[in-house]
Amino acid sequence: MGSNVSSVHDVPSSVENKNGLVVEIESRRQWRSVFDSMKVSNKLVHIYKLVIDFTAAWCGPCKAMEPRVKEIVSRYPEAVFARVDVDKLMDVAGTYRANTLPAFVFMKRGEEIDRVVGAKPDELQN
């Protein structure tokens, strides 16, 4: 992807492709902009690989796997990891049936292509 990402006008700065970082989705508006920008093909920013990381404040297993998730995130700089708290964004969690956590939903151009449920760091790699 490279380094020219920062000068994009449409996409909020929190959605820029920051290498190896997980974007915390705080609001429905932020979620919509992340999701919509995935579908937009843009020469400068093309967030077609989005990984939604469903988590919750109460999720011990999510925390158990955090160090390993961070490791993997840094290995895939071209993907955006969007962390969604299922209690804060219940309807997004509902749309993706995120009842068992942690759940990682792999999106390409707005479509779900795969998902990994449960803290299974090895499976995430594949």
Partner 1 sequence: MAVSGFEGFEKRLELRFFNDSITNNNPMGLRLIDFESLDQVLNEVQCTVVSAVANHSFDAYVLSESSLFVYPTKIIIKTCGTTQLLKSIRPLIHLARNVNLTLRACRYSRGSFIFPNSQPFPYTSFEDEVVIVEESLPKSFRYRKASVMTPSNSNPSRAWHVFTASADVEPDETLVVVEVCMTELDRVNARSFFRRKGDEGNSDSAGKEMTRLSGIDMINANAFICDFAFDPCGYSMNGVDGDRYSTIHVTPEDGFSYASFECGLSLYDGGHGDIAEVLARAIDVFRPDCLSIATTYNGEDYDHEVTKRVERVLAKKLGLKCRSRLMDEFPGSGTVVYQSFTPRRK
Is residue 62 flagged as an active site residue? yes
Is residue 59 flagged as an active site residue? yes
The CA–CA distances, whole Å, from 35 to 39, 64, 74, 92, 118 equal: 7, 27, 21, 11, 23
Instruction: Round to the nearest angstrom and report the end-to-end CA distance of the chain.
Output: 20
| Burial call 101-117: b when 16+ CB within 10 Å, e when fewer | bbbbbbbeeeeeeebbb
Q: Contact positions toward partner 1, by CB under 8 A?
A: 56, 58-65, 99-102, 117-120, 122-123, 125-126
Tell me which of 62, 72, 92, 107 is the catalytic residue: 62
**Toward partner 1, which CB reaches closer, 95 or 125?**
125
Tell me which of 1, 40, 44, 59 is the catalytic residue: 59
In the complex, minimum distance from the CB of residue 35 to partner 1, in angstroms, rounded to a whole number = 25
Cα–Cα–Cα angle for 21, 23, 27, rounded to 5 degrees:
170
**Toward partner 1, which CB reaches closer, 8 or 59?**
59
**Toward partner 1, which CB reaches closer, 6 or 95?**
95
Catalytic residue list: 59, 62
